[in-house]
Structure 1
Amino acid sequence: MTKFIADVKIPDSKLAAEAAELLREHGDDLLWNHSNRVFLFAALQGNRIGAKYDSELLYISSLFHDLGLTPKYSSPDKRFEVDGANAARDFLHSRGVPEESVRLVWDAIALHTTLGIAEYKEKEVALLYFGVGYDVMGEHFELITEEVRGQIVDAFPRDRFKQKILPAFLEGFKHKPETTFGNIKSDVCELLLPGYKRPSFCDCVLHSPWSE
């Protein structure tokens, strides 16, 4: 059956269902509910502004956007966003998805925590960024009504999300905190990782091997 939540259709193609199964297999309830809320908030924003976007690609991007935090997809040396993007690329390539669509999904996932850039990219990239910011930090909170938010949270509960998501982030990259240099996830390491000292770009410049 076609499923609608807050008047947004959940993509139900074979590709979408397989992506959902993969997140269910390798993620947990926290990531499952978060990823689905991200899609719904993103789609609502797209509909609100009258954007033309590929709902299936936005859904798959949402499902994969945090998979780089999971043991299955976490690399020893790459940003978790890149790990998730690479996992999505492999998944889509294996199913014969056109390269332009694969690139779009890769960019959406890889850039979903990149402030000041993602919102100016293609609609799917910008909308995923919006959905993540809405669910994690409540950005532009007033754009979605309390009633609609309630419908989404009823379907995909938050369940103390604010308290759980930061430790979940850290769990995904505590073995490679250096990958958070220059991005917002270094805040997570600074807050929760004992002994972590945030690298400084200024130190990198001042202590470079250049003689002058």
Structure 2
Amino acid sequence: MISDLDSIKVPDSKIITDAQDLVHEYGNELIWNHSNRVYLFGAVKGDQDKVKYDHELLYISALFHDLGLTKQYSSDDLRFEVDGANAARQFLNTYNITPQQVQLVWDAIALHTTPGVAEHKESEVSLLFHGVGMDVMGDNFDQFSESIRKSVVQKFPRKDFKHDIIKAFYDGIKHKPETTFGNMKEDVIKHFQPDYSNDNFCTRILHSKWDS
């Protein structure tokens, strides 16, 4: 079990600096600290599991993964995860990045709230998913040493993260609750609007235009 953050590589390049600047400009302290914790937890898990991954692509994925919640990047009709993925793709396309690398980052961000799928894809996709799960819900909490957990939070404080992140999710998607159909963010809408009722999968099947 890794016990020292010094063993974790934090990318330092022009594209990383530009991505960080973008998060500072359009995000906020909550997103900045959360995104960096997500990267560190994902990287620690990758190193502990001896998984090969691209540190730069994982970090960019972490920095962009919640930007779909911001006014700058939020669309009227897409899932916030897709908005973040589209923002990352737009950003990466201005650099010397291969289409395959762009797609990898897009997939990582778009699937970061999709359990049962993301963890079985490429390392960067899986590690972003695990990093998010650890920071938001404490998934695999005991796989991280206490010293690592304390070091990460000391560098990027949580403050009242549990409540702040739920409110951030709601503020970012309340104008398009229909995009939560079939995914866990419907729970966020219902947390603030207990009477909210989204489409039902079985109802969609039974009320489709098919005769049988």
**Superposition TM-score, scaled by structure 1 size:** 0.96
Check whether the contact 1:69–1:169 (CA below 8 A) recurs between aligned residues. yes
The residue aligned with 2:136 is 136
Unaligned runs of 5+ in 2: none
Superposed displacement of residue 206, structure 1: 1.5
Superposed displacement of residue 9, structure 1: 2.3
The whole-number CA distance in structure 1 between the counterparts of 2:6 and 2:188 is 32
Superposed displacement of residue 18, structure 1: 0.5
Check whether the contact 1:190–1:198 (CA below 8 A) recurs between aligned residues. no
The within-5 A match list for 1:1-212 is 5-193=5-193, 195-212=195-212
Cα deviation code 1:4-23 (max 9, x no counterpart): 94532221110011001101
Q: % of aligned pairs identical?
A: 56
Superposed displacement of residue 98, structure 1: 1.0
What is the CA RMSD across the aligned residues, in angstroms? 1.2
Check whether the contact 1:6–1:151 (CA below 8 A) recurs between aligned residues. no
The whole-number CA distance in structure 2 between the counterparts of 1:145 and 1:6 is 14
Cα deviation code 1:22-56 (max 9, x no counterpart): 01110010000000000000000000011110000
Query: What is the one-letter code of the residue matched to 2:140?
Result: H
Superposed displacement of residue 94, structure 1: 1.1
Query: What is the one-letter code of the residue matched to 2:187?
Result: D
The whole-number CA distance in structure 2 between the counterparts of 1:198 and 1:159 is 32
**2:197 aligns to what SS in structure 1?**
coil
**1:9 aligns to what SS in structure 2?**
coil
Superposed displacement of residue 199, structure 1: 2.1
Check whether the contact 1:8–1:40 (CA below 8 A) recurs between aligned residues. yes
**1:10 aligns to what SS in structure 2?**
coil
**Superposition TM-score, scaled by structure 2 size:** 0.96
**1:178 aligns to what SS in structure 2?**
helix
The whole-number CA distance in structure 1 between the counterparts of 2:56 and 2:171 is 29
Task: Give the paired residue count.
Answer: 209
